[in-house]
Amino acid sequence: MDNVDDLETTPHAALDAAFAATPRELFLPSAAQAEAGEDRPVHLGEGQTCSQPSTVRQMLALLAVPRGARVLDLGSGSGWTTALLAHLVGPQGLVDGVEVRPALVRMGRKNLRAAGVPWARIHSAHPDVLGRPEGAPYQRILVSATTPSLPPALLDQLCDGGRMVIPVGTTMTVVDRAGESFHCRTAGQYRFVPLVVPDGGG
């Protein structure tokens, strides 16, 4: 794997505008809103967290999100990253958030409605399905939970020329697709909750 020193990234001005339009406290449970300004993960319940702002900003920068893109946000949680992505792609784009926890699906949908970004949606994860293959291919995929290795199912959902940012173990990994080839680069060490893979039991 290579490092990301020469990587194209999302412009700072676009990130600043997205964060300004999407206050974190509006995507947290009322009991946790006082923690919104702290640069650390905040618990959402269900064993899940809202990632710390500096980490989210770094991931969105690495994703190099273009206007009008189709984006998959896997592990959408409270909908904060989904809404941030919606501001980055703009109304000509589309963001599909996918969440496995029903309570968080409900929370995320409510928060997205309040955010006024109808080109972003949150879907319940399908049993035994990782991602959202019916919406593929995606130009960008953001994964906000860690996996032990790169999931082939997500690589398949990335379009030619697309990019995925995903924590593999504790290593933030940027994956660029060119045809049937995938170029991986590393971007530092982070801690995330494990990716919950849907199963047919619930």
The two structure tokens encoding residue 88:
């980055």
Neighbours of 170 (CB within 10 A): 11
Looking at this protein, which amino acid is placed at residue 97? Answer: G
Residue 41 parent element (H or E): none
One-character DSSP codes across 65-112 = PPTT-EEEEES-TTSHHHHHHHHHH-TTSEEEEEES-HHHHHHHHHHH
In the DSSP assignment, the letter for residue 18 is H
Distance CA 37, CA 164 (A): 27
Q: Which of 128, 18, 165, 130 is nearest to 83 (CA)?
A: 18
The two structure tokens encoding residue 8:
């194209």
Residue 189 parent element (H or E): strand 181-189
124 is catalytic: no
Look at residue 160 and give its three-state secondary structure: strand
The two structure tokens encoding residue 196:
């919950």
Q: Select which of 30, 51, 144, 181 is catalytic.
A: 51
Active site members:
51
